[in-house]
Structure 1
Amino acid sequence: MAAPETDPDPAPEQTFIEHLTELRNRLLRAVAAILIVFLALIPFATDLYAWLAEPLLSRLPAGGQLVAIEVAGPFLTPLKLAFFTALMVTMPFSLYQAWAFVAPALYRNEKQLAIPLLVSSTLLFYLGCAFAYYLVMPVVFGFLASITPDGVAMMTDIGRYLDFVLMLFFAFGMCFEVPVATVIVVATGWLDVGALKRSRPYVIVGAFVVGAIVTPPDVLSQVMLAVPMCLLYELGIVAATALVRRREAQAGH
């Protein structure tokens, strides 16, 4: 029976200066990718903002519109959106640079686990942002428009609208990372699958608390965040169970 590999893959020893040089090069590559995409998106910045504003504008009453309170708002706000879009687009490349820097120090079995986690975490974050844009934002803005008092014109500042949408994207993107977090706590031995199953009632309550904090104060928006979190928690339990069974099968050989 072959002994399991527990040592990192053999690689030439590097000095501290060489590690710093490699880290600098990885960071420069990530920053360069962000800047290149950002510069490419600048001509389309206003179109990006129009796309982002559509869920709100389509639900405003007649005469409702976005306004720019700050003098430079019409210029700076689309640029800010273009920059954050560049961050999102280049996220896989930036994560790859981080992975390439730390991979030589990882054990082989850690590499086998880390690659699927990196890929799935990126996809889940994108999925959370898409869920927020296509499903949650129409409900949220429809609710906010419906409760606007008579005689009050709903005209939101473009900068504050962007901040609100980015907060929603980040909140839903991070909440969709629940399966990855679940697998990590099992893989590192912090909890076992049985403990995760026993924690279901607390997770359900916590999901609704998080939903109440990061969404507007209507029940539907809260449910639209809490229910996916609970379902993703169950998906994480399934993935963690498969991981445990795989490890047991490998240990039996």
Structure 2
Amino acid sequence: MTLLEHLYELRHRVAVISLALTVGGIIGWIWFTTRIAGLPTLESLLRDPYCSIPAEQRFPSTPCVLIQQQPFEAFMIQLKVGLGAGAALVSPVWLYQIWAFITPGLYAKERKFARIFVFSASFLFIVGTALAYLVIPAGLSVLVSFAGSFYLTALTGASYVSFVLTMLIVFGVSFEMPLVVVMLNRIGVLTYAKLSKWRRGIIFALFVFAAVATPGTDPVGMVVLALALTVLFEFALQICRVHDKRKAKRDESSQWAHLSPDEAAPLDLGPAAVETPAPAPVASVEPRRTEPPEPPRNRYDDAT
């Protein structure tokens, strides 16, 4: 394909993705306040962690509602959540469009590897967001418990939704860490020996990252995220160990495995090698000089 044809295809893919995101946003907008296929509304899913706070520590105690401080705050929350939920619903469409644009330039092995990478990344992100949703109620309860009976918790809709969405994104993106480690090991950037040597420092860095990345200084979220990342790192470390072990076996079976990249390969002069003697030099032969034939003689010449 020419450059212009690539640009036309890119324009087509972007148009399809934009249309899919628009349709998904409309569905998410409707789903925010309306039950679809028997599923709870997005509004109730977002509000349930807040409603888990004890009624005596929540303002107002009944009913369980959030506070709107600015005009159109509820509208922007519904739009933001609807677009996010719609993008997740139509993710197979825009992921396929990205895949269809990239895959013609990949080899068969690279396509298989990329397919595994996309599937693993999607699965890990979903697991991370699900864990975050389970952790949010416990984290809010712990945070509110510090107030005691002296304070009442009155969260605004914007701040609360921002806290929930940030928790979901932080957990989902953080769960991609083991996949990145495995990918770097596959391409030879990180080896199992290095990762095993740096294990303590990496685990400490994971705890620091969890403390910094978790919004609201939530102690429950920090600990859960740090422990989950540690378990995932150990799992990725074992995958790297198996990969490096198999790679070492393949290298040992290779004929030139012991050679460094800058060392020349030795000649094969074993018994199986048959040396052919060099051909003897051919002596140069000078062309024979021939005398021109004598002209025929007749009897008149003899008489003369």
The answer to whether residue 49 in structure 2 is matched with residue 55 in structure 1 is: yes
TM-score, normalized by length of structure 1? 0.86
TM-score by length of 2: 0.72
1:132 aligns with 132
**Offset at residue 139 of structure 1 (A):** 1.6
Change (3 A) 1:141 1:219: closer
Higher RCO structure, 1 or 2 (CA under 8 Å, sep 6+): 1
Structure 2: which 5+ residue stretches go unaligned? Answer: 34-40, 255-304
Distance in 2 between residues matched to 1:180 and 1:92, nearest whole Å: 20
Relative to its length, the structure with more helix (as a share) is 1
Instruction: Give matches, 1:49-88, under 5 Å.
Output: 49-62=43-56, 63-64=60-61, 65-88=65-88
Q: Structure 1 unaligned segments of length 5 or more: list them.
A: 1-13
- Secondary structure of the structure 2 residue equivalent to 1:68: coil
Segment drifting more, 49-58 vs 118-127:
49-58
Structure 1 residues 204-215: aligned runs within 5 Å: 204-215=203-214
Match of 2:24 in 1: 37
Q: Which residue of 1 aligns with 2:160?
A: 161
Matches within 5 A, 1:182-197: 182-197=181-196
CA distance in 1, matches of 2:241, 2:10: 36
* SS of aligned partner of 1:66: coil
- Structure 1, residues 183-232: CA drift from partner, whole Å, max 9, x if none? 11112221112212222111211111111112243543321000110111
Q: Matches of 2:225 and 2:17 in 1, distance apart?
A: 32
Q: What is the aligned-residue identity percentage?
A: 28
Read off the aligned partner of 1:59 and give its amino acid letter.
I
Q: How many residues align?
A: 239
Tell me if structure 1 keeps the 8 A contact 2:206–2:230: yes
Q: Matched residue of 1:67: which SS?
A: coil
Asked if 1:170 is matched to 2:157, the reply is no
In 2, the alpha carbon distance for the partners of 1:95 and 1:167 equals 23
Q: Does 1:229 align with 2:229?
A: yes
1:25 equivalent in structure 2 = 12
47-56 or 102-111, which moves further after superposition?
Answer: 102-111
Q: List per-residue Cα deviations over 1:121-152 (Å, max 9, x = no partner).
A: 01100110000001x10121111211125443
Residue identity in the other structure for 1:185: L
Q: CA RMSD in A?
A: 2.2
**Residue pairs, 1:6-17, within 5 angstroms:** 14-17=1-4
Task: Say whether the 8 Å CA contact 2:27–2:82 is kept in structure 1.
Answer: no
**Who wins on radius of gyration, i.e. which is larger?**
2
